[in-house]
Amino acid sequence: MAKFVFVTGGVVSALGKGIASASLGNLLKARGLNVILQKFDPYLNVDPGTMSPFQHGEVFVLEDGAECDLDLGHYERFTQTNLDQNNNLTAGRVYETILAKERKGEYLGRTVQVIPHVTDEIKRRIQLPADNDPDVDVVITEIGGTVGDIESLPFLEAIRQFRLEQDMQDTASVHLTLVPYIETAGEIKTKPTQHSVRELRSIGIQPDFLLCRATHSIGEEARRKIALFCNLPTEHVFDAQDADSIYQVPCNLNDQEFDRLLCQKLGIETEEPDLTEWKHMVQVILNPPERVRIAIVGKYIELKDAYKSISESFIHAGIPNHAGVEQVWVDSETLEGDEVGDRKLDEVFNGCHGILVPGGFGDRGIQGKVNAIRYAREKKIPFLGICLGLQCALIEIGRDLVGLDMAGSAEFDVSTPHPVIHLMEDQKGIANMGGTMRLGAYPCVLKEGSRAADLYGVLEISERHRHRYEVNNSYRERFEQAGVVFSGLSPDGQLVEVMEFPDHPFFLAVQFHPELKSRPRVAHPLFRGLVKAALVHQAPKQDSTVG
Ligand code: GLN
């Protein structure tokens, strides 16, 4: 019989509910439990796939191709589990399901209403992971948004009903709240937490545990006060102080026995978790013996969440390389214009030991990416291109080495005489934007003896995708003559998945998104390889300064 944990947030958004939920999942998994995490978002988009990264941060793609909230990335990274499309639900999806049923006449003439129809559908989805897999021990459901939002009400009402319908000890409510420190008064304030919990209780949900986000430790007295006013035991009020690394959060919660008390509340008996390896990993993250600097040339750099998985992948890749990776964010639009020559690029990339060009859509900043890639190629700086990064690499090489004047991509340059990147055949005729790209895991076969094969250590791999455009095969031969090696192809040989440039210390680009499969304990081979190459790249310079 599965147990159900609900994670809500109060006071303000962006408190780190996703990390808190993922950390909880991590601890329960370390106790030997089979845990599934899911995220319910109250907005009306059917999924975040059509939302701009500026608005919503990165779109995380699962094995099955579901386009999800970036918190699913944290869940997968913290629990080393692959989730599926059932683990992310939006209000839009709930309504889509209900309205489709209504059109089919499945409500038999009844009036379709928020209660019970919307709430019933939400309850069905809470239960679904446990229904689909009888071995699931705990389902953790995080509710997006902040308690008090109008749009989250149906979700909270569904949780209230769900809890009422279960045995008392089969569910738990965890509420994440903010305990601000008021600088001028020199003290922390518990009132916002009291209000937030009051709001939650007025909906009929008594939280069992409070995680208090704070810049300073909240201290014993405040814990007692919060417990008293919020109607729960003092030992169920936890300090969730800012951590230097998100990977420290499970350790901090475990130090306060959160996982033990949660299991006690849910009536689950397990062994104590062994966090030795995880703690060791956190130590390496916090005190890396070496450092290396890698530039990320993208267009969504104002919002770091837009490249969340890439940032995390660099942290993971630093661990086996015993290095901390400092990420330097470069707005590709600043690398455009007539005045951008090598002098400007020297300035921008001064002290960078590697360059990464991430995925993206549309024409903004393309020329800047192309300039950065040319610079990486010519100056022999380790380079990794991801999705649009691969497409830009071929545009650059097409123009500079193959002699394809004004080579471009049909995505943003319809009049190019050389569409080295063009729309995939099965994308032609698709009008809808949502969920219609080539999405999710597809196999790829690597070329024996290539750098990619060497990095992966195997010849058959599977990676996650999110794209509409691909390498135009009619140009493949000309690229090969210019020295490009297409070292990864779809099993039928028709789609380029990986390209590399052997006459370079590390120049590799991929059509898929390796960052979606990097895990803290299993860094992705491509990121690991890039960081390693970057360390080698910086070494001679270091020697000369030391010498
Ligand atoms: N815009 C490109 C395409 O659709 C690249 C997509 C990406 O980088 N994820 O093919």
Domain-ending residue, one of 279, 307, 341: 279
Clarify whether residues 272 and 295 are in a common domain: no
Ligand 1 lined by 467 (C-beta under 6 Å):
yes
Residues 123, 174, single domain; the answer is yes
Confidence at residue 545, expressed as pLDDT on a 0 to 100 scale? 46
| DSSP character string of 366-397 | HHHHHHHHHHHHHTT--EEEETHHHHHHHHHH
Could you identify the residue written with the tokens 């690394």? 245
In a domain, 535, yes or no: yes
**C-beta 300 within 6 A of ligand 1:** no
Ligand 1 binding pocket mutation candidate from 67, 300, 387, 472 (most atoms within 8 A of CB) = 387
Q: Domain check: are 238 and 346 in the same one?
A: no
3-state secondary structure string across 496-539 = EEEEECCCCCCEEEECCCHHHHCECCECCHHHHHHHHHHHHHHH
**CA dihedral sign, ordered 42, 46, 47, 48:** negative
Torsion of CA 465, 467, 473, 478, to 10 degrees: -90
In this prediction, residue 186 carries a pLDDT of 84
Residue of 121, 515, 524, 537 marked active site: 515
Q: Does residue 195 belong to any structural domain of this protein?
A: yes
pTM: 0.95
Residue 53 confidence (pLDDT): 82
231 and 90, same structural domain?
yes
Q: Is 459 exposed, middle or buried (0-12, 13-18, 19+ CB in 10 A)?
A: middle
- Do 258 and 296 lie in one domain? The reply is no
151 & 173 share domain: yes
In a domain, 285, yes or no: no
Contact 410, 399 (CB under 8 A): no
* Same domain for 239 and 337: no
Q: What is the pLDDT of residue 539?
A: 82
Please identify, among 279, 301, 321, the residue that sits at the C-terminal boundary of a domain. Answer: 279
Closest CA to 179 of 194, 189, 166, 169: 189
Tell whether ligand 1 has an atom less than 6 A from the beta carbon of residue 515. Answer: no
Distance 512 CA to ligand 1 centre (A): 9
Three-class DSSP category at 399:
helix
d(CA 285, CA 311): 13
**Annotated catalytic residue: which of 387, 465, 467, 504?**
387
pLDDT tens profile 318-373 = 999 999 999 999 999 999 987 778 888 999 999 999 999 999 999 999 999 999 99
- The CA distance from 85 to 71, in Å, is 13
- pLDDT value, residue 230: 94
Question: Based on the domain organization, do 239 and 334 belong to the same domain?
Answer: no
117 is catalytic: no
Whose Cα sits closest to atom 5 in ligand 1?
A: 388
Pair 358, 399 in one domain? yes
Using most ligand atoms within 8 A of CB, pick from 361, 384, 394, 513 the residue to mutate for ligand 1. 361
**Residue 398 and residue 357: Cα distance in Å, rounded?**
17
What pLDDT was estimated at residue 13?
82
**Distance of CA 467 from the midpoint of ligand 1 (Å):** 4
Q: Both 303 and 233 in a single domain? A: no
CB-CB contact of 420 with 407 (8 Å): yes
Distances 62 to 73, 149, 249, 441 between C-alpha atoms, Å: 9, 28, 24, 8
Chosen domain end from 279, 314, 335: 279
If asked whether residues 471 and 525 sit together in one domain, one would say yes
Q: Does residue 284 lie within any of the structural domains?
A: no
464 lines ligand 1 (CB under 6 A): no
39 lines ligand 1 (CB under 6 A): no
121 is catalytic: no
Is the CB of 353 inside a 6 Å radius of any atom of ligand 1?
no
Q: What is the CATH number of the domain that holds 122?
A: 3.40.50.300
515 is catalytic: yes
Residue 443 sits at the vertex; the CA angle it makes with 439 and 446, to the nearest 5 degrees, is 130
Whole-number pLDDT of residue 547: 35
pLDDT < 70 positions in the chain: 540-547
β-strands 407-409, 418-423: how paired?
A: parallel
How many domains does the chain fold into? 2
Report whether residue 360 contacts ligand 1, using a CB cutoff of 6 Å: yes
**Residue 191 placed within a domain:** yes
Please answer whether residues 335 and 345 qualify as being in contact, where contact means their C-beta atoms are separated by less than 8 angstroms. Answer: yes
Q: What is the pLDDT of residues 425-481, one digit of tens each?
A: 888 888 888 888 999 999 999 999 999 999 999 999 999 999 999 999 999 999 999
Task: Assess contact for 179 and 193: CB atoms under 8 A.
Answer: yes
Q: Whose CA is nearest to atom 3 of ligand 1?
A: 467
Task: Return all residues near 308 (Cβ < 8 A) that are at least 6 apart.
Answer: 57, 58, 60, 70, 73
> Would you state the pLDDT for residue 11?
83
Q: Which of 429, 376, 419, 423 is nearest to 398 (CA)?
A: 419
Segments forming the whole domain that contains residue 238: 3-279
| C-alpha of residue 481 to centroid of ligand 1, in Å | 26
In this structure, are 384 and 515 located in the same domain? yes
Residue 342 maps to which CATH number?
3.40.50.880
Q: What is the pLDDT of residue 540?
A: 67
Q: Is 298 in the pocket of ligand 1 (CB under 6 A)?
A: no
